[in-house]
Amino acid sequence: MASVLLRTVVPVTVDVLRIQIARWLSGERAAIRYPERGRFRGPVADAEPGAVLSAEPVQVLGTGSRLNPATATAFCYTTRDSSGRLIPATGVLLRSRRLTADHAGPRPLIAFAPSTQGVARHCDPSVSCTVGLNLFLRPPVDCIIAYELPVILALVASGFHVVFIDYPRDEATGVQYYGDNIAGGQALADAVRAAVELGVSPRAPVGLWGFSQGGGAAGWLAENPDYAPDVVPRAAVIGSPPSDLGAVLGHVDGGLITGALAYAVAGLMVSSDDLRRTLWSLFNEHGRAQIRANTATCAGGSIVTSAWASTRRWTVSGQSLAELAESLPVVRRALRRQQLGKRRPSCPVLLWGSANDDVIPVGQVREVARRWDAVGGDVSYRESMMPRIAGRTTLNHFLPYYLRLPRNIAWLLSGLR
């Protein structure tokens, strides 16, 4: 694994420094503006889910040297939202060129569902992987941080092809379907179909990878193989998946990433007219301003906007968002649709959580493990016992992810051989 870390850390560090030094020497002080991925959009009415609408090469940081060589293609493809509507979505396919003797036959493909990076378009992983790090110091203050890129590159350095998704959006508003495990899982399956159309062998062993928001998407796909019967994963690594979203609302409220609750509100509102009418009226002007501000920035900007705030200040009634969600049948029904553990996973799963997770309550991860085990799933459950770090800073959520990376990649590698 030391070799993998070398092949991951050195190239991406060199690329980030090269970009920043070049901008400094040229006198460029403005923030890097994200590429307009809208040009990928195309007619979808007659397309099947997983059809590629457009594609173009991109330069993903850390893949241009001989240490970890890979080609990258950004593409637009068709998928379905959780209401069954055909919509366009975007993603990136990384094809590893690293020589490895670990695989016999076609090189495996990892379907990668990223963790939360923010819901504004410039936060999408297809953008952040080409930027790495970018500060927006003029209001609204924001920060792009490609914190899933080291994990993606570690998988590429292990000899995998990787296809990763930008979470799909409502076509009318452009708002991301945040916290929608169904839409995310379907987008992940259709990204695999698109990768095959782009040249990945249809015989390539498929693995699933997802943490946090991505764990919800990968978990949904693992237990719903009937959505895409032609996509047959052989193994899945799923970390801290949100399943009981009502409990997540209460657990996050008042912590460093309270702003992520604005993402959840916006995602719920675009999922149905009933939810939009019900929810928007519950927020006062401050709350509505918080929702607008947070959904226009990345996770770094949300920290500036709403860190350690309470959603009680956002609502007309003074109730927290979790309390309101529990009191509203239409919201309870929407959140229950996203629960995991309803069906047996279609492949062996390494499911893991963190005992002191300050974003996803570990109790619901244990419950998913119990449910999958009860229906005969091949599930290995692991739990990080990292001590609690004060301040609800998300360190108890993210640090175990990176610390577990070598073991989780090794497990996935063995399952795809």
Whether 95 and 23 share a structural domain: yes
Q: CA 208 to CA 108: how far, in whole Å?
A: 11
- Domains of the chain: total: 2
Name the residue among 293, 91, 297 with its Cα closest to residue 193: 91
Q: CA 259 to CA 128: how far, in whole Å?
A: 19
- Is the Cα torsion angle 99, 165, 258, 357 positive or negative in sign? negative
Looking at residue 136, its pLDDT comes to 84
DSSP at 377? -
| Six token digits for residue 16 | 């980030």
304 in a structural domain:
yes
What are the angstrom distances between the C-alpha of 304 and each of 49, 258, 358? 38, 10, 19
Beta bridge mates, 350: 237, 380
Place of tokens 């839409």: 183
Q: CA 41 to CA 211: how far, in whole Å?
A: 27
Looking at residue 39, its pLDDT comes to 46
E strands along 97-160, which residues? 109-113, 133-136, 142-145
| Six token digits for residue 76 | 């637009």
364 in a structural domain:
no
Q: Most distant CA pair in the chain: distance in Å? A: 62
172 in a structural domain:
yes
Whether 27 and 147 share a structural domain: yes
Whether 264 and 183 share a structural domain: no
Q: CA 347 to CA 368: how far, in whole Å?
A: 15
75 in a structural domain:
yes
| Six token digits for residue 277 | 């009418």
Whether 13 and 79 share a structural domain: yes
92 in a structural domain:
yes
Looking at residue 247, its pLDDT comes to 97
- The vertex-29 CA angle with 26 and 32, nearest 5°, equals 95
Q: What is the pTM of this model?
A: 0.94
- Is residue 412 within 8 Å of 207, Cβ to Cβ? yes
Whether 182 and 265 share a structural domain: no
366 in a structural domain:
no
- Residue-number span of the structural domain to which 268 is assigned: 245-336
Q: Which residues contact 40 (CB under 8 A, 6 or more apart)?
A: 53, 54, 55, 56, 74, 75, 76, 88, 90
Region at 391 (left for phi over 0; alpha for psi -120 to 50; beta for the rest): left
Q: Within 13 Å, how many C-alpha atoms sit on residue 80's CB side?
A: 13
Looking at residue 2, its pLDDT comes to 62
Output the domain CATH number for residue 408. 3.40.50
Whether 261 and 184 share a structural domain: no
Q: Report the amino acid identity of residue 384.
A: S
Q: Which residues contact 329 (CB under 8 A, 6 or more apart)?
A: none
Q: CA 412 to CA 68: how far, in whole Å?
A: 19
Rounded (to 5) percent helix, strand, coil in the chain:
40, 20, 40
Q: How do residues 295-343 score in pLDDT, each as one tens digit?
A: 999 999 999 999 999 999 999 999 999 999 999 999 999 999 999 999 9
Whether 73 and 164 share a structural domain: yes
Give the residues of the chain that fall short of pLDDT 70: 1-5, 20, 23-43, 100-104
| Six token digits for residue 156 | 């590429």
Whether 175 and 265 share a structural domain: no
Output the domain CATH number for residue 276. 1.10.260.130
Q: CA 371 to CA 367: how far, in whole Å?
A: 6
Looking at residue 401, its pLDDT comes to 98
